[in-house]
Amino acid sequence: MNVLDELKWRGLVAHSTDEEALSAHFDDGPVTFYVGFDPTAPSIHMGNLVQMVVARHLQAAGHKPLILVGGSTGQIGDPKQTAERSLNDPVLVAGWVQRITDQVSRFISFEGDNAATVVNNLDWTGGMTVIEFLRDVGKHFPVNRMLARDVVANRLESGISYTEFSYVLLQSLDYRELFRRHQCTLQTGGSDQWGNITAGVELIRRSDGERVHALATPLLTKADGTKFGKTEAGTVWLDPEMTSPYAFHQFFLNAEDAKVVDYLKVFSSRSREEIEQLADETERAPHLRAAQRALADDVTDLVHGVGERKAATKAAQALFGKAELRDLDERTLAAATAGLNPVSVDGEMPTMADALVLAGVVASKSAARRTIAEGGAYLNNERIADADAPLTRGGLLAGGYAILRRGRKTLGALQG
């Protein structure tokens, strides 16, 4: 299968400048392509992972990736639809450049004939004068076309600075520089970047008289049309300190039946046959959640490694009595209990009945006593026999956690 056909089957193509020409370009390959990431935060996120997945497919097909980390564009940031960005300190951005470089480097290979290269656009913009920029780049951008861009048109009434207005020139310059320095002839990115990407194609045509290509992926959404990659706690980050491997695994494990196969096609490297089999299993027995488990395992393996995925799976099993809680370390327990909002216990330790109430597992002390008497109350997966027995600090898990459970599914946590 042509790599473009593979990307289309996986739902990874929303736009291309000329699909037939791009397909022929791949066949004539190898093609040097690039995708860029602006360090406007300490980590990349789910949307960025889609771009790295595309890069992996293209590299596996024999094409050469250039991964751009925007040391200069990250100091400005692509215009938002709603309001002006706050400009980050250049020293802070430089630190984020290194962090994101380390992150993206895990997804691609730096060996072989089509070894990847990481580039930083500060290398060619840092020494450029304003006059050079205006004469060599700005000259090729009609203002009327820049004003017609959706994000600019949306911001004209509320206001947009010249800084953000000019961002498209910087990103276009990146494509031209990579074309000139590395013979790069394809830029990939998200569909929200399509205007910036095609502006780079046009700059190369105007200034160098050459034809290059562009490809954009669609925005991933949930069944209700809202953005996929957000939780109640916020963005799903790839940095394990910002989104724990446990929370990351749980996010994909909770994917909707209606969309899980779409997500598998995007994020998993499983074959068409394997994914079609999982789709069939989901349709026949959705309660088994086979596709969700495959998705969560595959993406967590990709981003955090097999060891972290196994720890996340074990933690989830332990919470519901299917593995030993005392085998979990403090970091894993903290991640696993974060969604339970552990209640802090200071001073005198509560009785078992009081602990169940404090943790929110039951509504009242009488309900706690009843649940204990019926044999349905658990502390750290061990059945509670005595409602008046005190919770002891020696009985706490790593990090001072206590997991309270009623029945099979109602959980709560304390931390002392």
Could you tell me which CATH class the domain 230-304 is placed in?
Answer: mainly alpha
Which pLDDT value is given to residue 80? 78
Contact 381, 403 (CB under 8 A): yes
**Bridge partners, 383 (sequence order):** 378
Please tell me the distance from the alpha carbon of residue 373 to that of residue 126, in angstroms, as a whole number.
Answer: 72
Reported as a single tens digit per residue, the pLDDT across 266-285 is 999 999 999 999 999 999 99
Task: Enumerate residues 6+ apart whose C-beta is below 8 A from 238.
Answer: 43, 44, 45, 46, 48, 49, 103, 303
Percent of the chain exceeding pLDDT 90 equals 79
CA distances from 394 to 83, 150, 344, 383 (A): 52, 61, 16, 17
Q: Where in the chain is the domain with CATH 3.40.50.620?
A: 3-217
Task: Enumerate residues 6+ apart whose C-beta is below 8 A from 124.
Answer: 173, 177
Q: What is the mean pLDDT of residues 382-395?
A: 92
Which pLDDT value is given to residue 122? 95
Percent of the chain exceeding pLDDT 70 equals 100
Which pLDDT value is given to residue 267? 97
Between 296 and 1, the more confident residue is 296
pLDDT at 251 over 70: yes
* Cα diameter, the chain: 83
Which pLDDT value is given to residue 1? 66
pLDDT at 346 over 90: no
The order of strands in the sheet holding 382-383 is 343-344, 410-415, 401-406, 377-379, 382-383
CA distances from 283 to 69, 261, 279 (A): 41, 10, 6
Q: Where in the chain is the domain with CATH 1.10.240.10?
A: 230-304
Which pLDDT value is given to residue 322? 86
Q: What is the mean pLDDT of residues 6-30?
A: 95
Report residue 31 as tokens: 């093609």
Which pLDDT value is given to residue 125? 95
Task: Enumerate residues 6+ apart whose C-beta is below 8 A from 17.
Answer: 198, 201, 213, 214, 215
What burial class does residue 213 get, using C-beta atoms within 10 Å of its C-beta: 0-12 exposed, 13-18 middle, 19+ buried?
buried
Report residue 104 as tokens: 């993206």
Which pLDDT value is given to residue 48? 94
Q: How confident is the model at residue 143 (pLDDT cuts 50, 70, 90)?
A: confident
Reported as a single tens digit per residue, the pLDDT across 167-225 is 899 999 999 999 999 999 999 999 999 999 999 999 999 999 999 999 999 999 999 88
Least confident of 223-232, 340-349, 388-397: 223-232
- Candidates 3.10.180.10, 1.10.357.10, 3.10.290.10, 3.30.465.10; correct CATH number of 343-415? 3.10.290.10
Q: Where in the chain is the domain with CATH 3.10.290.10?
A: 343-415
Q: What is the mean pLDDT of residues 53-82?
A: 92
Mean pLDDT over all residues of the chain?
93
Please tell me the distance from the alpha carbon of residue 277 to that of residue 275, in angstroms, as a whole number.
Answer: 5
Q: Which CATH number does 3-217 carry?
A: 3.40.50.620
Which pLDDT value is given to residue 320? 86
Q: How confident is the model at residue 396 (pLDDT cuts 50, 70, 90)?
A: very high
